Structure 1
Amino acid sequence: MKVTTALSKFVKRSALALPLVAAPAISVQVLDALGFNANGFGQAYAQEEKKPSKVKTRKTPSISEAVGKKLGQAQELADAQQFNEALAVLRDMEARSSKYSAYEKAQVAYFMAYIYFSLENYDGAIASYKKVLSVPSENLTEALEIGSLQAVSQLSFVKEDYKGALRYINRWMDVSNIVTGEMYYLRAQAHYQLKDNANALKDISKAVSMVEGNGKVPKQAWYDLQRFLYYDKNDYPSVVKVLEKLVKHYPQGTYYIQLAGMYGQLGREKDQLHMMEAAYIAGVLKKEKELLNMAYLFMGAEMPYKGAKVIKKGIDNKQIERTSKNLETLAVAYQMAQELKKSIPEMEAAASMSDKGELYSRLAGIYLDLDQNKEAITAGDKALKKGGLKREDQLRIVLGMANANLKKYEAALKHLEVAKKDKRSKKFAEQWIAYVEGEKKREEQLAI
């Protein structure tokens, strides 16, 4: 018997789009990856063209010799990693700062923020940076104001104060005459944490385009956030474009699999198959579900033997569990590939492990196709004994045909009469009954 419609449907299953992981959240590690230190960002990763500063050019205020000497003492202690001692010097300066200029007070607060950050006292660092920002802008250098805004913006993420982070990021971008990709990325994260995905996508897309516009590759975390936000708004074509970049620049197994899944969502079956096969060849498909999806794709693309090889290797390597269902799938793949001799032992094993007779029923049909009538009858009897058959009438016809081929006419007629009671098989069963009765009569006449 040929592979049934039910079997055809069975093998057309393939990998759907896998859910994308949540967007990467800002953490101390993420800030470090951006180049954050107590004095703000390091070298700009990607910067936009300069814009006119909204702050008038300021003169650099002077520091008295006495204040400079004390700050130098604190600096030496900090350089020696003696942060608590440095902090004691700065606190003493703060206590005596009534006669300091606004700029000198700001310098003391800025230095204290650095020490607090080095001691991982982020509350203290934020409070000190805010003291700097409480000084009127005209009494600060641009670098001091911008550095403090940077730092408070970033440290607000560590404290999960996303509204505060967004507020200071906007001030920072407003004051600075150079806007970097990192700024847009950080603001995108703030919007995302506040569930404003529309503005988050706008900012991360700006950050990515700035880097790519300079002929460089954006950081992986940037693509990850952009990919997630596109997926969240069901913009699958854009998700695919981002995943294609991730596969190219940051090849990882999850990206191969997700891209294959998205191709499937868009009906790009050939691309889906090619991407999954590339992942398989690269050895990134290790889980049972991933390997079975690969096999289903091969089977659905009319390459069942490749599908069978994937499953067989997976079972041999103990990556795919040797269950009745998985062995059945392997047997079906071999059957579709016209490798019936290879299909039989797998279907036998699957049938023996099943608590229903359905697989033995299908096995009986395979044996009949191979003209192995005794084996067909044995498998069919086991199917009837186990029960739970979807189409007993079809099995009865197989048993009728197998018995007739062995000239066991009475047994053949018995099975065909049962099949005739089902209206779906009535006509076909009657034809075979007529044939068997004719053969029986002919045999009887020859015996006279």
Structure 2
Amino acid sequence: MTWALTLVLMFLMLLALGSQDLLLDYNVVSSAHAEQNSESNAASRKTRKTPALRQNVYKKISEAQEFSDAKDFNGALEVLNKLEKRPKLNAYEKAMVYYLKGFAFYSQDKYPDSIEAFRKIVGNESVPLEFENRVLGTLAQLYFVVENYKEVINVLVRLHGQQDKPTHQSLFALAQAYYLEKEYDRAIETVGRVMAMDRKAGVITSENTLLLLQGCHFEKKNIKQVAGILETLVELYPKKQYWIQLSAVYSQLGLDEKQMSAMELAYRQNYLSKSKEFEMLAQLYLYHALPYKAARLLEKALKNKQMESNKKNLKLLGDAWVLAKEVDKAIVALKKAAKLSKRGDIYERLVELYSEKENWTEVVRNSEEAVKKKDLNNIGRLYLLKGVAHFNLEEFESARTALKKAKKKPKTARFAKSWMRYVDREEQRAMLEESIAEQ
């Protein structure tokens, strides 16, 4: 399973949907001022004293923001680089410069440069705590973009340590980063915190959260847990892939009946679409001694062109009808399969079935077709049945010819000899009766 790829795509989707408050908040000066004046954190946390943003610096920052508004990010960077070189900038003013530089680099897809700029803000005691936390969230997303998951973890752990209550989204992102760093136990623990938040809020756990948890347990080979999560997925988010995966997991656990039930429920909900899926369910029916169900399933799938009418599928249908004691239907399917096969083994099967029905003409015809294609399973038995068919058609010489060939094969030699003696006796009796009738 390509869990890692799935998770990265999932996060990028979250990034697109949820990043505006972080990455696109370039009009930061007024909001930072507001935080500077209204910041209130837990009593246990250190209160930060933020120096003033001087008027001459504010003007340059506003100028840089105007360039950013006009999408002239090079112009913004030129203003900011000159401002950064001023020797008397206080720590808060520098943080504003770094923030706007980070945004400008981000807007140009220069992610390493953007990260470097934002990193300079982290740990700056002169900026409001909530502002620094927003920067940490931005950094986490940027590290995801450049696939540096270890730094995602470091940044988010720091962020959560500075928050009264981590957000649902940032906890989920941390769990993803743990997963991608192969720290599955920590990922599972963090997903547990996400799910606890869901329960407390009275909401259903998201599909992506369950998939992440499933991925962790899959990597740890906790197959029972994977099965449990898939059971939840098919209940809350019923989709084809979850039913198919659940059936496969039941198979790994040796739960054969549950494996069949999962596939059958998927079929009833019209989730099966691939030929191999119908074949799998048919094989499960046959394994559980339900040949009629298997045959009906295959018949319908072939009729609806959900399965190709090839040799393999037609033979499977024929075999299912045989096991269901529907010989005539089996013959119809096997005749079609035999014509598509390069081997003669399916004609051998038809010879057996026609022998059971005592349709001796068809036994002879199908025997001859089988010999033409060669690659037979038991040519001795084929000639034996052909000889019996000729005998019943009172074609004694042809019967004797076929039985002689059967006699050359060790497995059928004894039966062929017995039949040859019987043919001789019956031929003599028939000749005697004919002679008497002529007198």
Indicate whether the TM-score tops 0.5. yes
Equivalent of 1:169, from 142, 145, 156?
Answer: 156
Tell me whether 1:297 sits opposite 2:284 in the alignment. yes
Aligned equivalent of 2:263: 276
Task: Give the share of equivalent positions with the same residue, in percent.
Answer: 29
Q: CA deviation at 1:88?
A: 5.4
Q: Does 1:26 align with 2:8?
A: yes
Question: Is residue 2:369 matched to residue 1:382?
Answer: yes
Does the 8 Å CA contact 1:285/1:291 hold for their aligned counterparts? Answer: yes
Corresponding residue for 2:308?
321
Q: Aligned residue for 1:361? A: 348
Corresponding position: 1:251 with 2:238: yes
Are 2:4 and 1:39 equivalent residues in the alignment?
no
1:229 pairs, out of 201, 205, 216, with 216
Structure 2 vs 1, CA of residues 127 and 315 (structure 1 numbering), >3 Å: closer, same or farther? same
Q: State the shift of 1:375 in Å.
A: 0.8
Counterpart CA distance in 1 for 2:43 and 2:307 is: 64
- Per the TM alignment, residue 388 of structure 1 is displaced from its structure 2 partner at its CA by 0.9
In 1, the alpha carbon distance for the partners of 2:177 and 2:293 equals 47
Q: Secondary structure at the match of 2:138?
A: helix
The Cα offsets for residues 261-306 of structure 1, whole Å up to 9 and x where unpaired, read as 1122222222222222222233322222122212222333333333
Alignment of 1:401-420 (within 5 A): 401-420=388-407
1:266 equivalenced with 2:253 (yes/no): yes
Which string of whole-angstrom CA distances, capped at 9 and with x for unpartnered residues, describes residues 157-194 of structure 1?
Answer: 11122232222223223333323443343233323333
Q: CA RMSD in A?
A: 3.3
Q: CA deviation at 1:40?
A: 7.2
Tell me, in whole angstroms, the C-alpha distance in 2 between the residues paired with 1:437 and 1:234.
69
How far off its partner does 1:373 sit?
0.9
How many residue pairs are counted as aligned between the two chains? 417
- Does structure 2 retain, via aligned residues, the 8 Å contact 1:38–1:114? no
Following superposition, the deviation at residue 362 of structure 1 comes to 0.9
Match of 1:106 among 86, 95, 110: 95
For the residues of structure 1 that align with 2:237 and 2:78, how far apart are their CA atoms? Answer: 47
Q: Which structure ranks higher in relative contact order (CA pairs < 8 Å, sequence separation ≥ 6)?
A: 1
TM-score (norm 2): 0.82
Q: Is the 8 A contact 2:65 2:76 kept in 1?
A: no
Do the aligned residues in 2 keep the contact of 1:35 with 1:41 (CA within 8 Å)? no
Which segment is superposed worse, 429-438 or 225-234? 429-438
Name the SS of the counterpart of 1:379 in structure 2: helix
Aligned counterpart, 2:332 = 345
- Structure 1 residue 159 and structure 2 residue 142: aligned? no
**d(CA) in 2 for partners of 1:334, 1:377:** 23
The equivalent of 2:129 in structure 1 is: 142
How many Å separate the matches in 1 of 2:50 and 2:316?
79
Three-state SS of the structure 2 residue aligned to 1:133 is: coil
What is the CA–CA distance in structure 1 between the aligned matches of 2:50 and 2:187, rounded to whole Å? 38
Asked if structure 1 preserves the Cα contact closer than 8 Å seen for 2:77 and 2:104, the reply is no
Counterparts in 2 of 1:248 and 1:21: CA distance versus 1, 3 Å? farther
Looking at structure 1, the residues matched to 105 and 84 of structure 2 have their Cα atoms a distance apart, in angstroms, of 17
Distance in 2 between the 1:426 and 1:232 partners? 58
Residue type matched to 1:172 in 2? L
Partners of 1:151 and 1:170 in 2: how far apart? 14
State whether structure 2 residue 320 is matched by structure 1 residue 333: yes
The TM-score, its normalising length taken from structure 1, stands at 0.81
CA contact (8 A) 1:363 1:379 kept: yes
User: 1:83–1:41: structure 2 CA closer, same or farther, 3 Å change rule?
Assistant: closer
Stretches of structure 2 lacking an aligned partner (at least 5 in a row): 26-40
| Greater C-alpha Rg | 2
Q: In terms of mean alpha carbon deviation, does 338-347 or 104-113 score higher?
A: 104-113
Where in structure 1 are there 5+ consecutive unaligned residues?
1-19, 43-51
Q: Which residue of 1 aligns with 2:34?
A: none
Checking the alignment, whether the CA contact within 8 Å between 1:358 and 1:388 is kept in structure 2 is: yes
The residue aligned with 1:183 is 170
The whole-number CA distance in structure 2 between the counterparts of 1:263 and 1:426 is 48
Aligned to 1:6: none
CA distance in 2, matches of 1:144, 1:322: 66
Q: Distance in 2 between matches of 1:309 and 1:91?
A: 74
